[in-house]
Amino acid sequence: MTIRQPTELVAAGLAAPEKLPDLARVAQRYAVAITPAVAGIIDRSDPNDPIARQFVPDIAELTTTLEERADPIGDNAHSPVDGIVHRYPDRVLLKLVHVCAVYCRFCFRREMVGPGRKALSTQQLDAALDYIAAHPEIWEVILTGGDPLVLSPRRLGDVIKRIAATDHVKIVRLHTRLPAVSPEKITPALIRALKAPGVTTYVALHANHPRELTEAVRAACARVVDAGIPMVSQSVLLRGVNDDAATLEALMRAFVECRIKPYYLHHADLAPGTSHFRTSIAEGQALMRALRGRISGLAQPTYVLDIPGGHGKVPVGPGYIDICGEAAAVVEDINGAKHEYAPGSFRDGPKGRARNP
């Protein structure tokens, strides 16, 4: 059974009894949910367990710093109708639900999700789909929330079919944690609901630590991929969870082994009460440099920052080249050595004849 109450956290050995008053204070403000699959991989003997850190409430969540904001990436500024976020010309978010199977302690929508938050009403969903149909520039619809896979297969399938009926929409992408936190719910019926004629479906899996990819989770992802649905990953760079090169290396390799293409490594957003999770961008860049020299290109995510205020997502990974002029540059290799790159210097002879390959 999913753990939702502070007393249940203590009873399950996920928190010390003396922390119960603090847990209750946090739970009054932010939703709590830990599925059996997640509870089963938490190391109760480790006070710094990276899985527990992601899901077990901490009193630090009640400390809000000056730069933090309730809507850290500016969804509201780009929401023309309920449920829609239209930040980029060719794609929109469709936030169907505001509940999740688990609640991450660093969630950037933590002020907007939780038990009791209603899904879009029939009228709101109709208006959202009408908006998509009226904007022919929209090529991709991203189902998010909350977690769209908590919907019943019947309801989710109906929404995807209605999206697919819009001729200019060609891609449906679903952002979810469900395969990693409740793998048993990735049923044949749910997988069938993800597909509809006229659109290509992608599933983006959120996982942050290699231990999350258990055998059951890998089997759930295999069911999705074997059904012809490509998967990509998204992870958040989190202090105390994955802010070291060895952990990120293991995580990205695990994704590739599962036939999941590493996609985004997010810099942690400025959500209220999450400062204890954030690294600096310089730390993130150093980790990306380390990964570049350690793992295959197949396993390289793009390190991105969602600019606060709704200005969009941009890559913020390290740079490897300094432009010295119109025809020259200095390039840094994965070991930190620098090399001059001037195209003319790579030619032989006075007539500039190209070298033989």
pLDDT of residue 354: 41
- Summarize the confidence of residues 289-295 as an average pLDDT: 94
Q: Are 183 and 220 in contact (CB under 8 A)?
A: yes
Q: Which amino acid is at 126?
A: D
Neighbours of 158 (CB within 10 A): 15
What does the block give as tokens for 236? 């958040």
Q: In the chain, which segments carry CATH 3.20.20.70?
A: 76-315
Q: Which residue has the tokens 């050995």?
A: 13
Could you tell me how far CA 226 lies from the centroid of its own chain? Answer: 22
Indicate whether 95 pLDDT > 50.
yes
Which residues have C-beta within 8 Å of that of residue 223, sequence separation ≥ 6?
186, 188, 191
pLDDT of residue 293: 86
Q: What is the pTM of this model?
A: 0.93
Residue 334 CA to residue 59 CA, distance in Å, equals: 40
Neighbours of 298 (CB within 10 A): 11
What is the overall mean pLDDT for the chain? Answer: 94
Residue 349 CA to residue 357 CA, distance in Å, equals: 15
Could you tell me how far CA 297 lies from the centroid of its own chain? Answer: 19
**Domain covering 76-315 in this structure, CATH number:** 3.20.20.70
pLDDT of residue 344: 60
pLDDT of residue 335: 87
pLDDT of residue 223: 98
Neighbours of 273 (CB within 10 A): 22
Indicate whether 232 pLDDT > 70.
yes
Neighbours of 326 (CB within 10 A): 5
Q: Residue 349 region, left (φ>0) first, then alpha (ψ -120 to 50), else beta? A: left
What does the block give as tokens for 316? 């913020």
Residue 342 CA to residue 350 CA, distance in Å, equals: 16
Each residue's pLDDT tens digit, 134-182: 999 999 999 998 999 999 999 999 999 999 999 999 999 999 999 999 9
Strands (E), 67-167: 84-88, 91-95, 140-144
Q: Are 295 and 256 in contact (CB under 8 A)?
A: no
**Closest-CA residue to 271 (of 78, 91, 51, 30):** 30
pLDDT of residue 357: 41
Residue 105 CA to residue 55 CA, distance in Å, equals: 6
- How does DSSP classify residue 229? -
Among residues of the chain, what percentage have pLDDT more than 90? Answer: 87
pLDDT bracket for residue 256 (50, 70, 90): very high
Each residue's pLDDT tens digit, 45-81: 999 999 999 999 999 999 999 999 999 999 999 999 9
For 177, 181, 230, 264, 275, the CA distances from 147, given in Å and listed in that order, are 7, 11, 18, 18, 24
User: Which residues are known catalytic residues?
Assistant: 87-88, 91, 100, 104, 107, 109, 269, 306, 313
Element (H, E) at 261: strand 260-267
Among residues of the chain, what percentage have pLDDT more than 70? Answer: 96
**Closest-CA residue to 339 (of 331, 350, 349):** 331
